Amino acid sequence: MIRVGIVGGTGYTGVELLRLVCQHPEMELRVITSRKEAGQKVADLFPSLRGWVDLKFSDPAQAQLSECDLVFFATPNGVAMEQARELLDAGVRVIDLAADFRLKNVTEWESWYGMTHACPEWVDGAVYGLPEVNRDDIRSASLVANPGCYPTAVQLGFLPLVETGVVDLGHLIADAKSGVSGAGRKAEVPILFAEAGDNFKAYGVPGHRHLPEIRQGLTRAAGGRSVGLTFVPHLTPLIRGIHATLYARLTHPEADIQALFEARYANEPFVDIMPPGSHPETRSVRASNQCRIAVHRPQGGDMVVVLSVIDNLVKGAAGQAVHNANLMFDWPETLGLTQVPILP
């Protein structure tokens, strides 16, 4: 049993992390921080946790995080980099669910996120927490950079094609849609019910912060070869879910794409390669840590269309963080993550 702290337990990712951690047989919640809600019972803010979490929110300045074995940062970008160093120096292992340590190029990170990096010396030492790629490195990591939600769905969908070099790497297209919970638990006009409901729109077309993260991962998968990626995110009137429709042109038309995907993910507990002709739905993964993928070659041509769906709050955030923790502490990878998707 390890002692766990959560920094920033009041957002959608934070409460999802609380839901998973409080049911985990090897984790004991010790500290949950929030400046605004300090002193309030967690279950009073989130009644879904009544009977599961008896703690109160702690002021971050007074929280005894250094007494934990593992600390999750479910905070906005820019928070973990200010606080992680002290914890790491104290021997506490850290999983950051924000973007502070995802990009290896600090200059590029500062350009995309509009701030100076406060902990650049830990960027190289951070392990990118996509278990399907970095499983062995995650096991020994002190600091894990949990992937973003879009990058998880897109990379898992493209990886088998990019790793084997059977597609044109210069012209990949990711057309992705997300539910409004991906924007966080905050009051902003574009995500109000009357604005997002009964509506559908693209955003971030000139450039989205997840673009360099996806490109970094695919470049590594391609063995360092340059990858050309067009990434267009969309906002949908859903609460949870990401649906990524991915396009690539085959350079090896003789390749059996279905078999390639099945072989790549044969031993992955949280990636489900569906039968030929399938069309995965976001509701089929709701509240679970599953990624469901289907592969198509329309009219038998040279274009591959990959459909990849995840729950943005679970496989795209909190569930993946718990998966990483299982690896870090040498537990079964599926421990605490075997929830069946909910329907409807």
Rounded CA-CA distance 115/290 in Å is 34
Q: Specify whether the CB–CB gap between 65 and 85 falls below 8 A.
A: no
Strands 242-249 and 172-178, sheet pairing: antiparallel
Rounded CA-CA distance 264/280 in Å is 19
Rounded CA-CA distance 246/297 in Å is 12
Rounded CA-CA distance 108/120 in Å is 12
DSSP classification of residue 174: E
Rounded CA-CA distance 231/176 in Å is 8
Among candidate residues 22, 68, 119, 149, the one labeled active-site is 149
SS3 173: strand
Q: Specify whether the CB–CB gap between 230 and 168 falls below 8 A.
A: no
The reply to whether 119 belongs to the active site is no
Rounded CA-CA distance 326/320 in Å is 10
Structure tokens at 226: 């340059």
Q: How many residues does the chain have?
A: 344
Instruction: Say which residue the tokens 């790497």 belong to.
Output: 169
What positions carry a catalytic annotation?
Answer: 149
